[in-house]
């Protein structure tokens, strides 16, 4: 049975769609891939057909969710749905940018792609978070349809790695970007445009009364001379995400005494990294560690088992909270930090953000001597796609058990991009009543 009567005889176009990372979910931290098929140039982008490969995880949560996902106990299927449903989910609800890459495909390959999908759609397959995910599903479909596609370079593959593979094979054109709803609202110069963007996302169920309001807004916006709405914005460059693994090598001055220092992070991103693909105001790091060395020996300076920070920037349309969670070791104590707060833009171009988080910090030293601190953390970050980025942080905590005990820390950092794989990075940490630190590092992304 052929599923594609609407495409018969048309020179339809095929696109690869890449939704950006979603830091609030560890399984979506690398982004998500799907295909988009345009029946003709006259059909709106939102009414194109989306080809998705995803797992059915309904009814599963907590530890069981990760165990099944890692062991391949979820079933995945190819599904067909309108593009606007994927847009509402990723660009709207989850505030992700979506990049749309034209796929360079011949007429013969188009027919084979649709025939292959006709045979594969709705057939269950095992799904694994790392070794058979959305990237593998889309790759398998393309590899079975295109005349030549190289084998996967490794078993574990992320969405951006498949994009880079196809770019190296000259199979993708320059992308168009569909900005997240948050970005479109925040950067809209006209109030009606901002309201229209928000209501179109909110009206998922196509309520008839709200549709009348939307019709009036669309008409008003279409007549406005201040600003023209756009759905797809051309982006005349290749995708250039930094590598997953980060290595810092340099000198750490502790109370002006130099130490050799090495720090390694296996995964994934923090606010000091280049935000050309990852979220500029979010952190997701797993098992990073750093060692200092001098004539007296080698010391463990930091160990981060997990650090998840979601610093969402919202205006009056959006009512979401920022959060921070850290579990690991810092200098001479183990720590478990949890905080929740708000973030704000403080500059008109919306490039500088400041964040306030009331936090609770449980700190334990050797011999299981633990103390609980409460206080506030403030952080300022400069968001930029150019070579320089900078930030500053302030932390003030007091012990719950002994309120006279306090912890006060200031931190500043500056990063310069030589290219996407090499940075110069410096940070200064000053603790009241503790050792001050100044680090100067060469930063490599692998």
Please report where in the chains the tokens 């979010």 appear, as a residue.
Answer: 282
> Which pLDDT band holds residue 224 (cuts at 50, 70, 90)?
low
Task: Work out the average pLDDT over 66-94.
Answer: 80
Q: Hey, what are 414's tokens?
A: 């500056």
Give the contacts of 313 (CB within 8 A, at least 6 positions apart). 182, 186, 281, 343, 344, 345, 350, 353
Contacts 24+ apart (CB under 8 A), 245-248: 245/445, 245/446, 246/273, 246/288, 246/443, 246/444, 246/445, 246/446, 247/443, 247/444, 247/446, 248/290, 248/425, 248/439, 248/441, 248/442, 248/443, 248/444
Question: Which of the listed ranges 55-64, 193-202, 278-287, 317-326 does the model predict with the highest average pLDDT?
Answer: 278-287
Q: For the chain, give the mean pLDDT.
A: 81
Q: Is 230 helix (H, G, I), strand (E, B) or coil?
A: coil
Gap between the Cα atoms of 440 and 202, Å rounded: 47
Does residue 226 register a pLDDT over 70? no
Task: Work out the average pLDDT over 411-428.
Answer: 91
Q: Report in angstroms the alpha-carbon separations of 275 from 119, 174, 281, 283, 383.
A: 39, 19, 8, 11, 8
Gap between the Cα atoms of 173 and 170, Å rounded: 8
Give the contacts of 209 (CB within 8 A, at least 6 positions apart). none
Task: Work out the average pLDDT over 351-358.
Answer: 82
Gap between the Cα atoms of 246 and 119, Å rounded: 42
pLDDT at 122: 75
Q: Which tens digits make up the pLDDT trace of 370-409?
A: 889 999 998 888 866 568 889 999 999 999 988 788 889 9
pLDDT at 221: 65
Which CATH superfamily is 246-445 part of?
A: monomeric porin ompg (2.40.160.40)
Task: Work out the average pLDDT over 332-343.
Answer: 88
Report the 10 Å Cβ neighbour count for 226: 11
Contact present, 437 and 411 (Cβ < 8 Å): no
pLDDT at 259: 94
pLDDT at 318: 47
Gap between the Cα atoms of 218 and 209, Å rounded: 15
Does residue 119 register a pLDDT over 90? no
> Which pLDDT band holds residue 253 (cuts at 50, 70, 90)?
very high
Q: Which residues of 228-257 are buried (b: 16+ CB within 10 A; e: fewer)?
A: eeeeeeeeeeebebbebebebebebbbeee
Q: Report in angstroms the alpha-carbon separations of 76 from 69, 79, 102, 264.
A: 11, 9, 25, 34
Gap between the Cα atoms of 410 and 429, Å rounded: 6
Domain definitions of the chain by residue range = 5-178, 181-234, 246-445
Q: Hey, what are 250's tokens?
A: 């340099």
Select the more confidently predicted residue: 54 or 301.
Answer: 301
> Which pLDDT band holds residue 286 (cuts at 50, 70, 90)?
confident
Report the 10 Å Cβ neighbour count for 364: 15
Q: Is 305 helix (H, G, I), strand (E, B) or coil?
A: strand
Bridge partner list, 294:
297
Gap between the Cα atoms of 292 and 305, Å rounded: 18
pLDDT at 394: 93
Q: Which tens digits make up the pLDDT trace of 183-220?
A: 776 666 666 666 776 676 665 555 555 667 777 776 66
pLDDT at 91: 82
> Which pLDDT band holds residue 158 (cuts at 50, 70, 90)?
confident
Does residue 9 register a pLDDT over 80? no
- Which has the closest alpha carbon to 177: 236, 241, 99? 99
Does residue 317 register a pLDDT over 50? no
Gap between the Cα atoms of 362 and 333, Å rounded: 10
Select the more confidently predicted residue: 181 or 90.
Answer: 90
| pTM to 2 decimal places | 0.74
The CATH code of domain 5-178 reads 3.90.1720
Q: Is 101 helix (H, G, I), strand (E, B) or coil?
A: strand
Task: Work out the average pLDDT over 280-305.
Answer: 88
Q: Which residues of 174-185 are buried (b: 16+ CB within 10 A; e: fewer)?
A: ebbbbbbbbbbb
Q: Which tens digits make up the pLDDT trace of 40-51?
A: 766 777 778 899
Please report where in the chains the tokens 């500043």 appear, as a residue.
Answer: 412
Least confident of 74-88, 177-191, 211-225: 211-225
Task: Work out the average pLDDT over 363-371.
Answer: 82
pLDDT at 207: 57
Query: CA 437, 443, 446 angle in degrees (round to 5)?
Result: 140
> Which pLDDT band holds residue 421 (cuts at 50, 70, 90)?
confident
pLDDT at 209: 58
Does residue 10 register a pLDDT over 80? no
> Which pLDDT band holds residue 315 (cuts at 50, 70, 90)?
very low
Please report where in the chains the tokens 């990852």 appear, as a residue.
Answer: 278
């Amino acid at each position: 049975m052929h599923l594609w009567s609407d495409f018969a005889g048309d020179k339809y176009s095929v696109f690869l769609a890449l939704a950006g990372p979603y830091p609030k979910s560890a399984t979506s931290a690398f982004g998500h891939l799907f295909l988009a098929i345009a029946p003709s140039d006259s059909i709106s982008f939102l009414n194109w057909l989306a080809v998705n490969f995803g797992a059915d995880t309904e009814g599963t949560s907590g530890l069981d969710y990760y165990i099944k996902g890692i062991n391949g106990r979820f079933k995945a299927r190819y599904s067909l749905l309108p593009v606007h449903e994927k847009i509402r989910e990723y660009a709207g609800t989850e505030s992700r940018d979506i990049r749309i890459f034209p796929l360079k495909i011949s007429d013969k390959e188009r027919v084979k792609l649709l025939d292959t999908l006709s045979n594969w759609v709705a057939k269950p397959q095992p799904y694994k978070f790392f070794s058979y995910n959305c990237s593998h599903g889309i790759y398998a479909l393309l590899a079975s349809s295109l005349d030549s596609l190289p084998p996967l370079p490794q078993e574990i593959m992320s969405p951006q790695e498949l994009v880079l593979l196809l770019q190296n094979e000259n199979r993708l054109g320059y992308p168009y970007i569909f900005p997240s709803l948050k970005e479109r609202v925040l950067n809209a110069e006209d109030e009606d445009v901002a309201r229209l963007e928000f209501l179109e996302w909110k009206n998922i169920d196509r309520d008839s009364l709200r549709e009348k309001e939307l019709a009036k807004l669309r008409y008003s916006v279409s007549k406005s001379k201040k600003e023209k709405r756009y759905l797809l914005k051309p982006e005349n460059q290749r995708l250039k995400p930094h590598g997953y693994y980060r290595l810092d090598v340099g000198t750490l001055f502790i109370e002006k005494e130099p130490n050799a220092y090495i720090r390694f992070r296996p995964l994934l991103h923090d606010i000091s990294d280049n935000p050309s693909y990852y979220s500029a105001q979010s952190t997701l790091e797993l098992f990073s560690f750093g060692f200092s060395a001098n004539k007296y020996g080698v010391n463990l300076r930091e160990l981060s088992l997990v650090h998840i920070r979601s610093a969402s920037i919202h205006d009056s349309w959006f009512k979401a909270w920022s959060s921070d969670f850290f579990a690991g070791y810092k200098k001479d104590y183990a720590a478990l930090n949890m905080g929740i707060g708000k973030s704000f833009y403080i500059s008109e171009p919306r490039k500088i953000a400041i964040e306030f988080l009331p936090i609770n910090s449980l700190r334990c030293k050797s011999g299981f001597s633990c103390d609980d601190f409460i206080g506030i953390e403030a952080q300022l970050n400069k968001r930029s796609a150019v070579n320089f980025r900078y930030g500053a942080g302030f932390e003030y905590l007091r012990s719950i058990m002994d309120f006279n005990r306090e912890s006060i820390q200031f931190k500043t950092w500056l990063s310069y991009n030589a290219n996407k794989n090499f940075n110069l990075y410096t940070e200064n940490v000053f603790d009241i009543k503790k050792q001050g630190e100044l680090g100067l590092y060469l930063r490599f992304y692998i």
